[in-house]
Amino acid sequence: MSELLDHLMQEASVWQGRRAASQHLSVEATGHPELDHSLGDSGWPRGALSECLLAHEGIGELQLALPLMRRVTERGQMVFWVNPPHTPYAPELNRQGVGLDQVVVVRTEDDGDLLWTLENCLRSPVTGLVMAWPGRLTARAIRRLQLAAEAGDNVCLLFRAEKEAMQSSPAALRLKASPVSDTALHLDILKRRGGWPGQSCAIRLGDRTGLPEATAAESVVAGPWQGAGA
Amino acid sequence: MLWLYVHFPHLLLDHLRAHRSDDAPLVVAGSNGALVEQACPQAQAQGITPGMRLKTAISLAPELVPVEPDPEQADRVLEQQARWLYRYAARITLYPPDGLLAEASSLERLYGSAAAFWRSVAQALDERRLTYQIALGKTPLAARLCARQGTGERTTSEPHLNALVAALPLHALELDATTEKRLQRLGLSTLREVQQLPPAEVARRLTPETLAHIQRLQGERPDPQTPWEPPHLFREQVDFVREVEQSQGLLFPLQRILEELETDLRWRQEDTDTLSLMLRHPNQPPTRLRIRTAGPEHRAGAFLELIRLRLDQQPLSAPVRSLVLVVRRFLSRQAGTPTDLLGDGEDRAEAWQTLVSRLQARLGDQALHRLSPQADHRPERAWAATGMRSGTTTDRLVSPPRPLWLLRQPRPLSHAPTDWFSGPERISGGWWDGERVLRDYYIARLDTGQLAWVFRDVRDGWFIHGWYG
């Protein structure tokens, strides 16, 4: 059997989808080796939409984009946060090495403004990364966004609710993020342009809390708060 | 001394014409509708002349647009002309409502000759499609009278200029009516004949003022001129003959004004970052718009783009009768500091300013902000939203590990967390400004898998203050 396979490979009579994938897509490494590997040694697609679907904030989703944010701001390009659900905390971004001069937070009032803003940001040569929390979008709006993303050469990362996974999307990459532990995030690749979906991986979120990993739990001073709250 | 005088036979009509896209004939006619006071060339081509009854004029040209005379507006338009003429001449005097006087002899070295100065001014007037009559004269009054009479010639030879003045008919001398009549009765018809009378006779037979007038005309009596000072602001107004109802209709005249502004800024070697646009409506208070750019700017195209976005966002509330564009803030232009060989940095900075200006024009100034860390122990005070123009804060404050998301308002913790990771970290402060904070912070994981930054405050309540995103 393997002889037959070797023969076919040498003759180059079999199309090898895996290799073709990374050739024509312009990509930007995610900075997480596990994720890059699962994506066929590529990364975030440039000039296309990427979606990250998650149930709640606070599971480490920003860690996903942090290496890219660091890299983009070092290059002097801008990072746009459009309609973030909470306040991006400046001291921590600063501590993580993200250049705050290159970070801009934009808030829009309606979908029309949001699409327009994303289009303008994505088209500008000063932009490096656009992150957006668009809420519910119609299929038409996503299509328009995809076209806007294609006009520029930037990474556009949309954070959307988990239930949107059922809706079809023209995004080039769709990831579903789910929490595993405090130091890891599980990612399912739902869709990947030029490649097969279905892979999954876990990325390490080493310094998310800034604590040495071994200190968890033991360092907490036990007290009356156990079971408090509820 | 040589003086150059520019007379505008119908400046107001030229001004209105510049902002109209059609070619309808225009006339200035009094409010009681009696007589035509000024007629534009299009109207004159149809046989309309000043002094004609308006009714006659309308029957000659049914599409005629009559304009009511407005002295205030005429003065303003004249001042607009003085502003650009100031680029050509330093000493200008305004002769409202329709004349500008410029001192020419001190410019001879700059232009080569007074005739070359004349040519430059005439060219600028042609570019602005103004109707004008120019004259040079040895005295301000001589230049003025020749220009009004339309007999100015591009010459600097003294005998020739004297001859031009001497040939002026009596009615062009701006004498009072009784003097003019008395001179006529003497059988005189031109200035030359008046000049031949002995001065003492003139003073005796006529009035001393008449003699003074003639002496000023001949340069035998000083005639001081007060030079005009250009204001340090740019102000341009467009008056619409018919009210404009669509914002699209404002863009056409705005483009011309903005080009004028660009030229003005180029001459000043300055930039601006704030334009004030006022739209006047017939029965409503005016709409005031402030258009701000992200950085110093002078290009008309960039301004127009921002105004277009702004008008798209904010439809006109009422028809517009006139618009005024004022620029008060001028920033001296700084030499570019190219950071690399290909000047890429420059382009980037410009692209950045264009993007921010566009976003702010549509979303409002408040919609965009930057983040900067602040030196404060209270988490909600340890960051600040700063404007897009503010200088960059590059100081790296050393801060302890914190979550990436901060909630705008601490949220009560409803379920007991499943795991505890670290804590307590006590944060206490704010006793100095009345916003006292006394909290113990913990890192905990909720049953949803979220890693939260929770605290218990002094009143024993549990709250979520951030997410480890």
Give the pLDDT confidence score for residue B32 in this predicted structure. 65
Q: Where are the domains of chain A?
A: 26-207
Give the pLDDT confidence score for residue A84 in this predicted structure. 92
Give the pLDDT confidence score for residue A82 in this predicted structure. 93
Whether chain A has a CB inside 8 Å of the CB on B411: the answer is no
Partners of A173 in the beta sheet? A50, A192
Which of B288, B307, B335 represents a domain boundary (last residue)? B335
E strands, B328-399, in order: 331-332, 368-373, 383-386
Give the pLDDT confidence score for residue B338 in this predicted structure. 46
Whether chain B has a CB inside 8 Å of the CB on A153: the answer is no
- Report, as an integer, the average pLDDT of A111-121: 86
Q: Answer yes or no: is the ipTM higher than 0.85.
A: no
Give the range with max mean pLDDT: B12-16, B233-237, B406-410.
B406-410
B363 neighbourhood in chain A, CB within 8 Å? 106-109, 113, 117
Structure tokens at B199: 């001065």
CA distance B253 to B137: 36
Question: Do residue B322 and residue B294 come from a single domain?
Answer: yes
Which of B164, B185, B218 represents a domain boundary (last residue)? B218
Please report which confidence band the pLDDT of residue B418 belongs to, taking 50, 70 and 90 as the band edges.
confident
Using alpha carbons, select from B380, B399, B404 the residue that is nearest to residue B452: B404
List the single residue in B with minimal CA-CA distance to A214: B421
Whether chain A has a CB inside 8 Å of the CB on B451: the answer is yes
Dihedral sign of CA atoms B36, B40, B44, B45 in order: negative
Secondary structure class of B252 (helix, strand, coil)? helix
Beta-carbon separation of B363 and A86 below 8 A = no
pLDDT score of B294 more than 90: no
From residue B369, alpha-carbon distances to A89, A111, A123, B55, B362 in Å are 13, 20, 20, 62, 15
CA distance A182 to B449: 8
Beta-carbon separation of B399 and A87 below 8 A = no
- Taking residue B249's Cβ as centre, other Cβ atoms within 10 Å add up to 17
pLDDT score of B259 more than 80: yes
Whether chain A has a CB inside 8 Å of the CB on B415: the answer is yes
Helix (H) / strand (E) containing B51:
none
Please report which confidence band the pLDDT of residue B153 belongs to, taking 50, 70 and 90 as the band edges.
confident
List the single residue in A with minimal CA-CA distance to B349: A126
Structure tokens at A43: 């990364």
Q: Which amino acid is at B256?
A: R
- Taking residue B264's Cβ as centre, other Cβ atoms within 10 Å add up to 19
pLDDT score of A113 more than 70: yes
What is the pLDDT of chain B when averaged over all its residues? Answer: 82
pLDDT score of A212 more than 70: no
Residues in Cβ contact with B365 at an 8 Å cutoff, skipping those fewer than 6 apart: B292, B387
Q: How many CA atoms lie within 13 A of A106 on its CB side?
A: 31
CA distance B288 to B280: 9
pLDDT score of B31 more than 80: no
Whether chain A has a CB inside 8 Å of the CB on B347: the answer is yes
Please report which confidence band the pLDDT of residue A230 belongs to, taking 50, 70 and 90 as the band edges.
very low
List the single residue in B with minimal CA-CA distance to A96: B401
Q: Nearest-CA distance from B240 to chain A in Å?
A: 33
Secondary structure class of B239 (helix, strand, coil)? strand
Partners of A87 in the beta sheet? B406
- Report, as an integer, the average pLDDT of A136-149: 83
CA B314 to chain centre: 22
Question: Do residue B175 and residue B248 come from a single domain?
Answer: no
CA B324 to chain centre: 7
Give the pLDDT confidence score for residue A31 in this predicted structure. 85
Which of B278, B309, B335 represents a domain boundary (last residue)? B335
pLDDT score of A23 more than 50: no
Q: Nearest-CA distance from A122 to chain B in Å?
A: 10
Question: Do residue B322 and residue B243 come from a single domain?
Answer: yes
Partners of B34 in the beta sheet? none
Question: Do residue B205 and residue B249 come from a single domain?
Answer: no
- Taking residue A219's Cβ as centre, other Cβ atoms within 10 Å add up to 14
- Report, as an integer, the average pLDDT of A115-129: 87
Cβ proximity of B68 and B111 under 8 Å: no
Partners of B135 in the beta sheet? B5
pLDDT score of B151 more than 90: no
pLDDT score of B23 more than 80: no
- Report, as an integer, the average pLDDT of B281-309: 86
Q: DSSP for B415-445, please give it.
A: S--SEEEEEEEEEEE-TTTT--EEEEEEEEE
CA distance B125 to A135: 58
Give the pLDDT confidence score for residue A34 in this predicted structure. 85
CA distance B134 to B146: 8
B383, with CB counted inside 10 A (0-12, 13-18, 19+), is buried
Peptide bond into B97 cis (omega under 30): yes
- Report, as an integer, the average pLDDT of A197-201: 81
Number of structural domains in chain B: 3
Whether chain A has a CB inside 8 Å of the CB on B402: the answer is yes
Q: Using one digit for the tens of pLDDT, what is the confidence trace for B339-378?
A: 444 445 557 777 888 888 888 888 888 888 888 888 888 8
Whether chain A has a CB inside 8 Å of the CB on B201: the answer is no
Give the pLDDT confidence score for residue B269 in this predicted structure. 81
Question: Do residue B150 and residue B293 come from a single domain?
Answer: no
Q: Which amino acid is at A68?
A: L
CA distance B156 to B138: 9
Considering only CB atoms, A58 lies closest to which of B383, B416, B450, namely B450
From residue A177, alpha-carbon distances to A120, A168, B288, B331 in Å are 28, 17, 49, 50
Q: Using one digit for the tens of pLDDT, what is the confidence trace for A49-93?
A: 899 999 888 888 888 899 999 999 888 888 999 999 999 998 888
CA distance B54 to B445: 87
Whether chain A has a CB inside 8 Å of the CB on B386: the answer is no
Residues in Cβ contact with A118 at an 8 Å cutoff, skipping those fewer than 6 apart: A82, A130, A132, A145, A148, A156
Range of the domain at B114: 3-24+64-218
Give the pLDDT confidence score for residue A17 in this predicted structure. 60
Q: Nearest-CA distance from A15 to chain B in Å?
A: 41
Question: Do residue B10 and residue B157 come from a single domain?
Answer: yes
Q: In what order do the strands lie in the sheet with B26-29?
A: B36-39, B26-29, B65-67
CA distance B85 to B83: 5
B408 neighbourhood in chain A, CB within 8 Å? 86-87
Beta-carbon separation of B352 and A124 below 8 A = yes
Fold of A26-207: Rossmann fold (3.40.50)
pLDDT score of A21 more than 70: no
Question: Do residue B157 and residue B102 come from a single domain?
Answer: yes
Q: Nearest-CA distance from A151 to chain B in Å?
A: 15
Among A59, A83, A92, A115, the strongest candidate for a mutation testing the B interface, having the largest count of B CBs within 10 A, is A92
- Report, as an integer, the average pLDDT of B269-277: 85
Q: What is the DSSP letter of B169?
A: B
Please report which confidence band the pLDDT of residue B396 belongs to, taking 50, 70 and 90 as the band edges.
low
CATH code, domain carrying B249? 3.30.1490.100
Structure tokens at A4: 């037959």
pLDDT score of A227 more than 50: no
Whether chain B has a CB inside 8 Å of the CB on A86: the answer is yes
Question: Do residue B250 and residue B285 come from a single domain?
Answer: yes
Decide if B347 is inside a domain. no
Question: Do residue B307 and residue B438 come from a single domain?
Answer: no
E strands, chain A, in order: 27-28, 44-45, 48-54, 78-82, 87-88, 103-106, 127-132, 155-161, 173-181, 184-192, 200-204
B456 neighbourhood in chain A, CB within 8 Å? 225, 228
Q: Nearest-CA distance from A46 to chain B in Å?
A: 20
Tell which wins on pLDDT, B283 or A211: B283
Question: Do residue B239 and residue B263 come from a single domain?
Answer: yes
pLDDT score of A228 more than 50: no
Question: Do residue B200 and residue B298 come from a single domain?
Answer: no
Beta-carbon separation of A57 and B467 below 8 A = yes
Considering only CB atoms, B383 lies closest to which of A89, A127, A228, namely A89
Whether chain B has a CB inside 8 Å of the CB on A151: the answer is no
Dihedral sign of CA atoms B75, B78, B80, B86 in order: negative
Structure tokens at B467: 């997410």
Decide if B382 is inside a domain. no
- Report, as an integer, the average pLDDT of A127-150: 86
- Say which range, A16-20, B190-194, B330-334, B404-408, has the weakest mean pLDDT: A16-20
- Say which range, B53-67, B325-339, B435-449, has the weakest mean pLDDT: B325-339
Cβ proximity of B452 and B464 under 8 Å: yes
Decide if B38 is inside a domain. no
pLDDT score of A229 more than 50: no
Q: Using one digit for the tens of pLDDT, what is the confidence trace for B68-115?
A: 777 888 888 888 888 888 888 888 888 878 888 888 888 888 888 888
Question: Do residue B12 and residue B159 come from a single domain?
Answer: yes
Among A52, A59, A94, the strongest candidate for a mutation testing the B interface, having the largest count of B CBs within 10 A, is A94
CA distance A25 to A48: 10
Whether chain A has a CB inside 8 Å of the CB on B390: the answer is no
pLDDT score of B300 more than 80: yes
